A and B are shown apart, each in its own frame.
Chain A
Amino acid sequence: MAKNENTVMHERNIQSISTKQNYAKTFVKIGVYAFLMLMALIVLFPFYWMISSSLKSLSEYKLNVPTLWPKTIVLRNYAEAFTTANLGRLFANTAYVGIVSTLLSLVITVLSAFAFARLEFKGKNAMFAALLATMMIPGELFTITNYATINEFGWMNTFKVLIFPFLVSVFYIYLLRQNFMQIPNELYLAAKVDGCPDLKYLWKVMIPLALPTLISITILKMMGAWNSYVWPNLVANKKELQMITNGLRNSFTDAAGSVNYPVQMAAVAIVSAPLFLVFVFLRKYIMSGVSRSGIKG
């Protein structure tokens, strides 16, 4: 190729480029913010509509041209929601199942993660790999046999069935083991030299150091109980045992057409409130667990 074909880039009109560049920058910036604001509005709208509706009277809710915010605020909807859906009972049930299963799950997870992270035993790696492999199988596959099993055990419609079948989470064991592994082994050996028993070491050193992960697990487990719907609906759908989500769904499906929407929205708002509080105060724990898992609740 002839040399002279490789001419240096052309001269340019800096004045017009400058103006164009500034317009383009502003234009893009406005566009980006407009897009984000619109998306944020769409994301927030259901929450706004839930709260707004929950405070309306039924007649105002049914207005032909809906009001954006209730003209008269009807707090009675919330009281009514509480009694209609029997929310007190549902709260108690859910709290009981949530707390018991979270505590048991934490103990089991900590012990297993400790064994996998610190102790040596035959077949450790193979067993850990096998555990991880089960994570790839959709939970629905377990549900069928578990349904049959608890039938066999005669556990149908008991709290046991809500607590035990999904108590052990391989993912949490994995998460905590990774965390334990990051704690220098020297600490463990030093403790051994000092004659510190395993459990004491676990309690005094490992658990405090892995506390953020344990808090993440606790939150996710509690949220799991709060949001669980499918399994309880299958195996413990008696009124006395119902979990909050089941109770919520079932309280307002009985008489379609004549649903009192403001009361329903009040109930939804009550059920959503604890999740919001968790979100506001403990967001970083949830996010750190979430980004590693891809599972919900």
Chain B
Amino acid sequence: MKVALQNLTKIFPSRDKKAGKEVVAVNDFTFDIPDGKLIGLLGPSGCGKSTTLYMISGLQKPTSGKIFFGEDDVTELSTENRGIGLVFQNYALYPHMTVKQNILFPLQNLKGADKMSKEAMLERAEWAARLVQIDDLMDRKPSEMSGGQQQRVAIARALVKMPRVLLLDEPLSNLDARLRLQTREEIRRIQRETGITTIFVTHDQEEAMSISDMIVVMKLGVVQQIGEPQEVYDNPTNLFVAKFLGTPPINVFSGKVSGGKLYIGQDAVLEIAGVSDQEVTVGVRPEGFELAEDGKLHCQLSNVEVMGRDVSIVSTNEASLNPMIRSIINADNKVDLANKVVSYNVKPHKLFLFNKETEERIPFEVK
């Protein structure tokens, strides 16, 4: 099922009627979600990603704009009639029902052409349970299970009726690190197996990048960028997106373009074309540094963290807008901590220029 959002806007009236301002939670969101893809809505808290999800589910009504499932306008359609599955952040498993009853519950509500026989329901429930690997826990109650198990029951409950669209609200936020890795792979696998168009919300960029076909980066209700994860990572449209994606985060410097050269502090790091002389903000991915004796960017070395395959070099530079610069280089390169200064060359495709005021990306060519 293709899902299309057209100029979707949600405005919450202010809580304090006299003084407060109304809050624009989602502002003019337009996006055609292709059929059968896994889409990650990504952004810091308060960016409107959950509100978008809840509008797609029908639990919240948009202030303006339209939502289409396939060719059908479902904007006014109530949740019950949308045929979606939703995994809540806190799972919302019915506490008085066993796992089996929880999973069967949506099937028992099906009507019309979707109606199933008792045997078919049981079979389907067992299929869903196997899919999320909880088929041995069918007679437990939610309170007798771990967070990760509850999570999987919630996914099974949302999936079991084979919804036209599957929505997940911060599905991994309550899990510990190891379970989180494992579960996100499972979500990816299940989505591939079923081919259901899936939209999930997260504030964890790594999570979104690792399993999504496409990601949508949002900030304060406004969509910043939509695209395949690698594409967005390699080509951020603005400083916010560049900063939000990637671990360790991008290194940001204040710089200057002058006479076809890009300066970070006093160091001319690149010769570029297509940019008029101006002050700029420079972003360099941690993997965008190359150690070189005659490197053009000079930083004060403070620490080296060994991470096995790679090492992470921590240094400082006056022009850096962060307290520390972190670069990641192959562990074959030996760094002598006795050196006070470390010199880098910068890979041009890992370096981005942003307008100092608008923070929009400035394209440039390497000479």
CB-based contact A6/B194 at 8 Å: yes
For A14, the chain B residues whose CB sits under 8 A away are 72-74, 77
Instruction: Pick from B114, B123, B127, B194: contact of A10, CB below 8 A.
Output: B114
Whole-angstrom CA separation of A1 from B113 in the bound complex: 20
Q: Which of A12, A21, A25 contacts B83 (CB 8 A)?
A: A12
Cβ of A258 under 8 Å from chain B: no
In the complex, B104 has a CB within 8 A of chain A? no
Contacts of B113 in A (CB 8 A): 10
- CB-CB under 8 A from A7, the residues of chain B are 162
Q: How far is the CB of B29 from chain A (nearest CB, A)?
A: 21
B322 contacts chain A at the CB level, 8 A cutoff? no
How long is the Cα–Cα vector from A91 to B1 in the complex, in angstroms?
Answer: 76
List chain A residues, Cβ under 8 A from B76. 18
Contact of A8 among B77, B112, B127, B196 (CB under 8 A): B196
On chain A, the residues within 8 Å of B195 by CB distance are 8
Query: In this assembly, does A190 line the interface, its C-beta being within 8 Å of a C-beta of chain B?
Result: no
> Cβ of B203: which chain A residues have Cβ within 8 Å of it?
none
Closest to A22 in B: B76
Return the CB mask of A1-23 against B: 1 if under 8 Å, else 0.
10000111111101001100100
Pick from A6, A21, A25: contact of B162, CB below 8 A: A6
Total number of A residues with any Cβ neighbor in B under 8 Å: 13
Mark each residue of chain B from 247 to 258: 1 if its CB lies under 8 Å from any CB of chain A, else 0.
Answer: 000000000000
Q: What residues of chain A lie closer than 8 Å to B80, measured between beta carbons?
A: 21
Q: Which residues of B contact A25 (CB under 8 A)?
A: 78
If A6-B124, A6-B127, A8-B196 touch, whether A17 touches B81 (CB-CB below 8 Å) is yes
Residues of A within 8 A of B65 (CB): none
B73 touches A9 (CB 8 A): no
Q: Is B123 within 8 A of A8, CB to CB? A: no
Q: Is the CB of B123 within 8 A of A1?
A: yes
Contact with B along A269-289 (1 / 0, CB 8 A): 000000000000000000000
Chain B contact-residue range equals: 20 to 34
Chain B's closest residue to A11 (CB) is: B70
Please determine whether A9 and B114 come into contact, CB atoms closer than 8 angstroms.
yes
* B residues 146-180 in Cβ contact with A at 8 Å: 161-164
> Nearest chain A CB to B215's CB is how many angstroms away?
24
Q: Contact partner of B81 among A1, A8, A11, A12, CB < 8 A?
A: A12
> Does the CB pair A8–B74 fall under 8 Å?
no
- Option from B74, B123, B164 in Cβ contact (under 8 Å) with A9: B164
Which residues of the other chain, B, contact A9 by a CB distance below 8 angstroms?
83, 110, 114, 161-164
Task: Give the docked Cα–Cα distance between A17 and B80 (Å).
Answer: 10
Residues of chain A within 8 A (CB-CB) of B114 are 9-10
| Docked complex Cα distance between A6 and B107 (Å) | 12
A17 with B77: CB separation less than 8 A: yes
- Closest-CB distance, B135 to chain A (whole angstroms): 13
CA gap between A25 and B77 in the complex, in Å = 12
Give A12 to B80 CA distance when docked, in angstroms. 13
Bound-state Cα–Cα, A1 to B74, Å:
33
CB distance from A17 to the nearest CB of B (A): 5
State how many angstroms separate the Cβ of A1 from the closest Cβ of chain B.
5
CB-CB < 8 A to A12: which residues of B?
Answer: 81, 83, 112
- Min CB gap A291→B, angstroms: 23
- Minimum Cβ distance to chain B for residue A200 (Å): 42
Which chain B residues border A10 with CB–CB below 8 Å?
A: 112-114
- Distance of A11 from chain B, by nearest CB (Å): 8
Least CB distance, A78 to chain B, in whole angstroms: 45
Q: How far is the CA of A224 from the CA of B149 in the complex (A)?
A: 54
With a cutoff of 8 Å between Cβ atoms, the chain B residues found around residue A17 in the complex are 77, 81
> Closest residue of chain A to B164, judged by CB?
A9
**Chain A neighbourhood of B1, CB < 8 A:** 8
List, in ascending order, chain B residues with CB within 8 A of A18's CB: 76-77, 81
- The complex places the Cα of A71 from the Cα of B127 at a distance, in Å, of 75
Nearest B residue to A17 via CB reads B81
- Give min CB distance, B61 to chain A, whole Å: 13
Given A14-B72, A14-B73, the answer on whether A21 and B127 have CB atoms closer than 8 Å is: no
Q: How far, in whole Å, are A116 and B114 apart by their CA atoms in the complex?
A: 63
Residues from chain A with Cβ under 8 Å of B72 in the complex:
14
Spell out B's residues near A (CB within 8 Å).
1, 70, 72-74, 76-78, 80-81, 83, 110, 112-114, 123-124, 127, 161-164, 194-196
Show the binding face of A for B, using Cβ within 8 Å: 1, 6-12, 14, 17-18, 21, 25
Sample of 4 further A-B pairs with CB below 8 A, known A12-B81, A14-B74? A1-B127, A8-B196, A9-B114, A14-B77
Query: Can you list 10 A-B contacts (CB < 8 A)?
Result: A1-B124, A1-B127, A6-B162, A8-B162, A8-B164, A10-B113, A17-B77, A18-B76, A21-B80, A25-B78
Sorted nearest first, the 6 A-B pairs with minimum C-beta distance are: A14-B72, A10-B113, A9-B83, A8-B162, A17-B81, A21-B78
